[in-house]
Structure 1
Amino acid sequence: MKFRLMLSVFVIFIISMVNAQDVEVSGKVLFENRGNPDAEVMLKDTSAKTVVDKNGDFMIKNIVPGNYKLLVRAKGYEEFEKNISVGKKNTFIPNIILTQNSNNIDEIAITGVSRETLIKETPVAMLSISSKQIERTVATNIISSLVKSAPGLSVVETGPNISKPFIRGLGYNRVLTLYDGIRQEGQQWGDEHGIEVAPYIIERAEVIKGPASLMFGSDALAGVVSLFPYTPSQNDGIVHGKVTSEYQGNNNLIGNGMQLGYKKNSLIASLNASYRMAKNYRNAVDGRVYNTNFEEKNFSFLLGRKTNTSFSKINFTLYDNLQGIPDGSRDPATGKFTYQIGEGDDDDLGKRPVVSERNLNSYTLSPLHQRIQHYRLYAQHTQQIGKGDLDVQLGLQQNIRREYNHPTAPSQPGMYVRLNTLNYGIRYNFPKFSSVEISAGINGMVQNNKNKSATDFPIPDYNLSEGGIYTYIKWKYKRLNISGGARYDIRKIGWDDFYIQTNPVTQFEEHAAQASANTRLGFASYNKTFGGLSASIGSAFQLTKQISLKANIGRSYRAPNITEIGSNGLDPGAHIIYKGNRDFNPEFSLQEDLGISTRFKDFSADVSWFNNNIQNYIYLSLLVDSQGNPIVDTQGNKTYQYQQASAQLYGMEAWLSLHPEKWKGFNFETSLSVIYGFNRDKKFKNKETQGEYLPLISPLKLSGNLSQKISVPSKLITSVTPTAEVEFSAAQNRYMGLDNTETATPDCTLFNIGTSVAIHYSENHSATLQFQVNNVFDRAYQSHLSRLKYLGNIYNMGRNISLKLIVPF
């Protein structure tokens, strides 16, 4: 009897133990940037673990109820930890999102390569910038946001919201900007023409530093800035997204952005919108800088379908920016900013009225401003065909730019141009065989530019068509990767005679349909075809698991842009009269690159060197009279003539990150970049500042960033991350001083501090509240690449206190 009783108790105990361990923990892991690496899921301090499947799903069986710490690890991503409570019922953990680790050597790149490729396996200098890096940066535009994470990338600025990317000393039409793989076309030749992309819409970015003409043709001679908008990745049939709201105290910037995304099975849809407005920025010397305020609106919508063998999407975007046009005019007695009230000879710069404090401290733009509207409609399709795949894209863009510079007729644009662009591309990635990958394709564009109801005509109405055919080959043998290819491009550009006449009523100039006794020939007809060969070859060698070596040599081609060959008039927004040269030849560059990358548990580092020789380098030269004085019009606008010569640029970038594994949450990053640029025309040999040094060369830059993530034992606030940053720009004494084109710029050191707070507001989501103070000591300084330095000797932005809230859902 006792034996039966003991046996029954034992059986009940065993059954209860089995039932107790029959609980399952399951969930789904999502990866930032839509990656899909192998991920390991475990319950810390136990033997229970598993791996995710191809959809990111996981399941751990036979778990005893209790409290555990769930740990998720994946190569190239930050570790994820979460305290979970396992009851008697199965536990589901939804939407674990792993963020990309910027210190990892296994980052994925898709720009400038045939397929998704590890950055360590590409021979060119390339880096990826995650959404986390973009979000934690306080800036007034997307290009300036990227600069702090990309040594070698700099910006030429005309106020807070106009930034043009420069890579290793080269910019304008030498740096190609891509939006979701579509080349951005928006009159980027102009000094005051920024990139028509709102910052809140961008999820991540990639930067190629060096020749990229092989994949993209002309205009990628110096490199590529590739911007990727938000695309939904959580396949649960629920609307997800993010709300961003920020305030910047210096120019009273108010910004709000929203991302909405939906994905279920094969259907993908997203909607993005943002609105930003700002007053004139200020500094300790100038006070408020007149006409640097802006108002920016953005909207986009995506609809797509994704299956196991294909991905199709169509996207529409709208960008609308009202932007002040600073000219730097000042009252001779007080030095305060003035504004224009007269036209032509009636405009006496020395007698302009002083801008009132009310107008300086206002969101309302002055009558003299510019409006930029940019529309995109594009479709992309990827189709797996056997073991190969086909990529097709077709895009339409329209850029409308109005620059209002007539105080007596505020509604009359001085410049009014409309640029229509058709982008196309097709690429086939052949099946892999014997460690060899081959891709071949064609891409190009067709453009039509038209001057509308304007009074100033810096460029003619023109038609442009270009196309290129290329092949790209990659061979991998154990730890060695060799890749390269060749491409040939043809660009045809032309226009008819363009006549200009004076309107008898307004006395402004206007376009005339045909020649008459009252017209003048603004642009004589022109037709020319440019062609060029691009090629590259390089290798990446994985010396160890932690160390990668790179070497590359590339030849790039760039056809002269429209303003370099065709300009002949005032650009009101730039306050420059441009003079083109119809006899220009294409630019060709030959660049050598060497690099080394290391990724260890406790530190990471990159070092790269480059040497770039350019034939037929095109640059601007100030025109002067016989006494050496700049040739100006009645408004003081200077005249520049494009010239051509040989040039050489060389330099290096270095980056170091300390992140000790045993010192959780600690990170110290420092970067260094230095560039030298020389005009190799024999007449400038040993002339130094009088023609030998190239313009717009960034000085030596050194930066350091220290941060410490502090976990907080609170259900609401989970962590606090204080940061401290220092930015040093050396003096630039190697400048283009010929005809006072540039002047020397002294060194400058800026200090920034901030704090980031993670707020756990729901079971699966945490908001981020960022407090940042840039230029803590309100240092008055001028960037060597600021155009405002030469428009009234204006200084850069002073102390800027900002607050940003990011709420994902």
Structure 2
Amino acid sequence: MMIQFKPFLLSITVFLFFAFNTKANSGVGDVLKGSFTVTINDAVTGDPIEGVSVYFSDVKVGGSSNSKGVVKLENIPEGKHLIEISHIGYNTISEYVDIIGDTKKVYVLSRTVVENNAVIVTGTTGATQLKKVPFQVSVLKKEDLLQNASTNIIEALAKKPGVSTLSTGPAISKPVIRGLSYNRVLTINDGVRQEGQQWGDEHGIEIDEASVNKVEILKGPASLIYGSDATAGVINIITNVPVANNTMKANVFSNYQTNNHARTLNANLGGNKNGINWNVYGSALAASDYSNRYDGKVFNSKFNEQNFGGYAGYNGNWGYSHLLFSKFNLKAGLVEGERDINGYFIKPIAGGGEIVATNTDFNSTIPLIPYQNIQHFKIATDNSFKLGENRLSLNVGYQHNQREEFSNPDDVNERALFFDLKTITYAAHLHLKEMGGWKTAVGVNGMQQHNVNKGIEQLIPDYTLFDIGGYAFTQKTINKITLSGGARYDTRNIAVSNLLDGNNIKAAAFKRSFSNFSGSIGATVQVTKNLNLKVNIARGFRAPSIPELSSNGAHEGTIRYEYGQQNLKSELSTQLDGGFEFNTEHVSFDISGFYNSFSNFILYRKLQAGNGGDSTINIDGQELTAFKFEQTKAALSGIEMEVDIHPHPLDWLHIENTFSLVTGKLKEAIEGSNNLPFIPAPRLITEFRGNIKKIKNNIHNAYVKFEIDNTFTQNNIFTAYNTETRTSGYTLLNAGVGADIVSKKGVTLFSLHFVGTNLADVAYQNHLSRLKYAAENMATGRNGVFNMGRNFSVKFNVPLNWNL
């Protein structure tokens, strides 16, 4: 294990050297060498605008305008940087600014009724204007998260077209992008590849929702930048954002949800003094069992969570160096759905018996047997260094992920499963000087990983993994056409130990190596001021995950027994994306389509017993259905659409519509079925929303909304071996209202948000809910467990600001 720590310790040394040595040698007087003073006024009235966000993403320097509409940003490396200027109710400006010494500029913002696409995306090789990215990207900011209710961060993303969730109760959700999930979707948090047990249905992403500032969803193969495991896309989550120089900011946030009595308390404190900047946050969340009209209280759907984290570092004219840390701790019950003949949920007790769950059990926030405890510790360095007219970004991180599963009522401290995973991630990107209009980056990234089983059972064996990949990417804008593309090569080596059942070997040790090329080429064309076209073709690859190669055991949280296949090959995909965006003052229209062809697509299916029924295995008295991983050719295709209408003269009214449709087909049918399993159902969301910039002097940024969420019936299912069942469609009604309460001086004192979901209390099952396949309710004949019923949420947010 000492080898694992060498690159991390080297990164810590680099951080300490640049963060403290460089500051000591440069002196405070050098700060003005690279600074940017901006004045922001209203385009109509000419009045200064307070509270406008001004941010340089690539060097992580930003701030907000004061009452005079002025903000001064310091400690900026000289050179060309992409700036984003944004404020609620105004158009967003993004453009490149050449910082030379003390640079000054004046901007005017126009009031807007349609969101434009001037947003900046950072999840590519560097900060890029959204309208110049040749594939589809969705962005959610902090205010979007505040105005919606969800039980975890992934659920909050699911209203974006092309994004769904695979859930195992309210605490655990996995991102699904265009019908693909598990190790095909990569999560990045503050530049660090998030590594836990993402191969499992009941394994979430281990990130604190309350601390998130911004989320970018990159749809389509992102293997070019990130390597294997990004063939479906990337969820780029940004938590830590530096505040303006010589200021301190704090925030207190609370949320209460009525259905499962979920209560959240979060606080953070950040500051910046002469380039030395920091942020620290902490949150606590607890929820009892949720309820719905058919099941009542769903036994053991409770969970509790405690998190803390932050960063500390220095920003100077040479760049920045930050040290990030976080600690995530979740205890979540595992819903099995077992009931007696009268339909009452039962719980296991010591001695092998079962009793009916009580109100005390339902109302507790402490999970009962079976449950899992997930802990995720992360520490990383995030650095950017100016090298002449080039820039080098360096990120090295260490993560320790522990997942414990408790399932023995006779010994509540016994760990049935215990995965102890340690990962070193590294990434270096060299952004070369712009030459002839070409913006080029080259880089290398990868990880080293080691997993040890410490429980009494093994689902997957101990293993060691190492991968590394290098890429080159370039982009150029020629008049109104932006071209971009690149290539990458990766290699991954896996050493798998014996899979044990006690002292017996269930499967022998083995080693595998995987390597392949990835690439993409795309273009965006700004046909007119209002019309933008995009097209991209990409080739990605994904090495099989450890469970797909070597699992052999009970996967309790998914109520199945899994068999891996040691001889699986790498998945290869070729995806074509195309779309156009049309924006006018009163209409915004965005439509895109994709076709993704896979060779060696990996899926799991039920095993068939000799009598033609399901193959089952008895584990400690429980019959688990047996599943096996296999490969075939497959293709996914789909369409996504967003339409935002602001009927004149009711400019305050938004009628927003989003639609998603994805289909998955096998090239050759299996047992008469050619549908890929677990493809999300088509979905149409229509939201009527009223935005009022100012109601009274002390009520700003008010909104009221009403939403109709239609999920259609999913009949295109994988029927072979009874793997999947049809899911009926449903319509949910949601509503919300909120506003900022401000002082006489225009300073926001606090904001309030009230959201109601599933107002009609519809009993429904999402097609991608794993609880849909829980035990049958013998009293009603209904299979599985249903999703959450009517729920009301109230959010209270208090921002605080000081000058240092």
| Matching of residues 621-636 of structure 1 within 5 Å | 621-632=605-616, 633=618, 634-636=621-623
Aligned position for 2:481:
480
The alpha carbon displacement at 1:729 in A equals 0.5
Residues 100 and 227 of structure 1: is their aligned pair in 2 closer, same or farther, counting only changes over 3 Å?
Answer: farther
Structure 2: distance between partners of 1:753 and 1:474: 43
Secondary structure, counterpart of 2:674 in structure 1: coil
Matching of residue 430 in structure 1 with residue 414 in structure 2: no
* From 779, 782, 794, the counterpart of 2:785: 794
* From 743, 749, 752, the counterpart of 2:725: 743
Structure 1: distance between partners of 2:465 and 2:607: 29
* From 330, 335, 338, the counterpart of 2:346: 338
The alpha carbon displacement at 1:196 in A equals 0.1
| Matching of residues 14-93 of structure 1 within 5 Å | 40-42=40-42, 45=45, 77-79=87-89
In percent, how many aligned pairs have the same letter?
32
Q: Which amino acid aligns with 1:172?
A: Y
Structure 1: distance between partners of 2:402 and 2:55: 48
Aligned position for 1:651:
638
Structure 2: distance between partners of 1:429 and 1:74: 20
Aligned position for 1:774:
757
The alpha carbon displacement at 1:60 in A equals 7.5
Aligned position for 2:210:
200
The alpha carbon displacement at 1:682 in A equals 5.2
Moved more, 215-224 or 306-315: 306-315
Aligned position for 2:284:
275
Moved more, 52-61 or 261-270: 52-61
The alpha carbon displacement at 1:76 in A equals 5.3
Aligned position for 2:149:
138
Structure 2: distance between partners of 1:211 and 1:47: 45
Residues 682 and 665 of structure 1: is their aligned pair in 2 closer, same or farther, counting only changes over 3 Å?
Answer: closer
Structure 1: distance between partners of 2:378 and 2:112: 29
Instruction: Provide TM-score, normalisation by structure 1.
Output: 0.85
Secondary structure, counterpart of 1:663 in structure 2: coil
Structure 1: distance between partners of 2:584 and 2:730: 33
Matching of residue 639 in structure 1 with residue 626 in structure 2: yes
Asked if the contact 1:652/1:674 (under 8 Å) is kept, the reply is yes
The alpha carbon displacement at 1:58 in A equals 8.4
The alpha carbon displacement at 1:357 in A equals 2.3
The alpha carbon displacement at 1:660 in A equals 5.3
Structure 2: distance between partners of 1:387 and 1:46: 37
Q: Which amino acid aligns with 2:244?
A: Q
Asked if the contact 1:497/1:521 (under 8 Å) is kept, the reply is yes
Structure 2: distance between partners of 1:265 and 1:719: 33
The alpha carbon displacement at 1:235 in A equals 2.2
The alpha carbon displacement at 1:665 in A equals 3.0
The alpha carbon displacement at 1:381 in A equals 0.7
Secondary structure, counterpart of 1:680 in structure 2: strand
Structure 1 residues 728-766: Cα deviation after superposition (integer angstroms, max 9, x where no partner): 001000011222211111110000112113211573224
Q: Which amino acid aligns with 2:663?
A: Y
The alpha carbon displacement at 1:547 in A equals 1.4
Structure 1 residues 547-597: Cα deviation after superposition (integer angstroms, max 9, x where no partner): 110000000010000000011111233322110000000000000000111
Aligned position for 1:103:
115
Asked if the contact 2:89/2:112 (under 8 Å) is kept, the reply is no
Residues 38 and 783 of structure 1: is their aligned pair in 2 closer, same or farther, counting only changes over 3 Å?
Answer: farther
* From 299, 314, 317, the counterpart of 1:308: 317
Structure 1: distance between partners of 2:555 and 2:111: 44
Structure 2: distance between partners of 1:97 and 1:409: 64
Structure 2: distance between partners of 1:769 and 1:761: 15
Asked if the contact 2:681/2:714 (under 8 Å) is kept, the reply is yes
Aligned position for 2:707:
725
Structure 2: distance between partners of 1:544 and 1:354: 66
Structure 1 residues 348-405: Cα deviation after superposition (integer angstroms, max 9, x where no partner): xxxx322122212222321321100000000011011121100111000000010001
Asked if the contact 1:36/1:56 (under 8 Å) is kept, the reply is no
Asked if the contact 2:228/2:490 (under 8 Å) is kept, the reply is yes
Asked if the contact 1:78/1:101 (under 8 Å) is kept, the reply is no
* From 681, 688, 696, the counterpart of 1:699: 681
Structure 2: distance between partners of 1:490 and 1:543: 40
Structure 2: distance between partners of 1:120 and 1:642: 40
Structure 2: distance between partners of 1:232 and 1:636: 53
* From 653, 666, 679, the counterpart of 1:679: 666
Secondary structure, counterpart of 1:569 in structure 2: strand
By relative contact order (CA 8 Å, sep 6+), the higher-ranking structure is 2
Matching of residue 211 in structure 1 with residue 213 in structure 2: no
Matching of residue 176 in structure 1 with residue 186 in structure 2: yes
The alpha carbon displacement at 1:668 in A equals 1.9
* From 231, 236, 239, the counterpart of 2:241: 231
Q: Which amino acid aligns with 2:41?
A: V
Asked if the contact 1:124/1:209 (under 8 Å) is kept, the reply is yes
Secondary structure, counterpart of 2:623 in structure 1: coil
Secondary structure, counterpart of 1:636 in structure 2: strand
Aligned position for 2:796:
805
Q: Which amino acid aligns with 2:788?
A: M
Asked if the contact 2:84/2:119 (under 8 Å) is kept, the reply is no
| Matching of residues 567-646 of structure 1 within 5 Å | 567-632=551-616, 633=618, 634-646=621-633
Secondary structure, counterpart of 2:347 in structure 1: coil
Aligned position for 1:298:
307
Matching of residue 356 in structure 1 with residue 341 in structure 2: no
| Matching of residues 310-329 of structure 1 within 5 Å | 310-329=319-338
In structure 1, stretches of 5+ residues that fail to align are 1-34, 62-72, 82-95, 502-518
Q: Which amino acid aligns with 2:318?
A: T
Asked if the contact 2:270/2:278 (under 8 Å) is kept, the reply is yes
Asked if the contact 2:190/2:240 (under 8 Å) is kept, the reply is no
Structure 1 residues 586-613: Cα deviation after superposition (integer angstroms, max 9, x where no partner): 0000000001112222121210000000
Structure 2: distance between partners of 1:530 and 1:422: 19
Matching of residue 396 in structure 1 with residue 413 in structure 2: no
Residues 680 and 100 of structure 1: is their aligned pair in 2 closer, same or farther, counting only changes over 3 Å?
Answer: farther
Q: Which amino acid aligns with 1:671?
A: T
Secondary structure, counterpart of 1:698 in structure 2: coil
The alpha carbon displacement at 1:233 in A equals 2.1
The alpha carbon displacement at 1:295 in A equals 0.3
Aligned position for 1:368:
370
The alpha carbon displacement at 1:712 in A equals 5.9
Aligned position for 2:471:
470
Q: Which amino acid aligns with 1:456?
A: E
Aligned position for 1:542:
526
Q: Which amino acid aligns with 1:321?
A: L
Q: Which amino acid aligns with 2:313?
A: G
Structure 1: distance between partners of 2:289 and 2:46: 59
| Matching of residues 438-517 of structure 1 within 5 Å | 438-452=440-454, 454-501=455-502
How large is the Cα RMSD of the aligned pairs?
2.7
| Greater Rg by CA | 1
Structure 1: distance between partners of 2:38 and 2:139: 20
Residues 478 and 43 of structure 1: is their aligned pair in 2 closer, same or farther, counting only changes over 3 Å?
Answer: closer
Structure 2: distance between partners of 1:138 and 1:104: 25
Residues 382 and 97 of structure 1: is their aligned pair in 2 closer, same or farther, counting only changes over 3 Å?
Answer: farther
The alpha carbon displacement at 1:497 in A equals 2.7
* From 709, 715, 720, the counterpart of 2:691: 709
Residues 636 and 384 of structure 1: is their aligned pair in 2 closer, same or farther, counting only changes over 3 Å?
Answer: same
Structure 1: distance between partners of 2:90 and 2:744: 17
Structure 1: distance between partners of 2:601 and 2:301: 32
Say how many residue pairs are matched.
717
Residues 59 and 572 of structure 1: is their aligned pair in 2 closer, same or farther, counting only changes over 3 Å?
Answer: closer
The alpha carbon displacement at 1:247 in A equals 0.5
Aligned position for 1:19:
none
Residues 53 and 41 of structure 1: is their aligned pair in 2 closer, same or farther, counting only changes over 3 Å?
Answer: farther
Structure 2: distance between partners of 1:694 and 1:520: 36
Structure 2: distance between partners of 1:229 and 1:475: 30
Structure 2: distance between partners of 1:37 and 1:468: 40
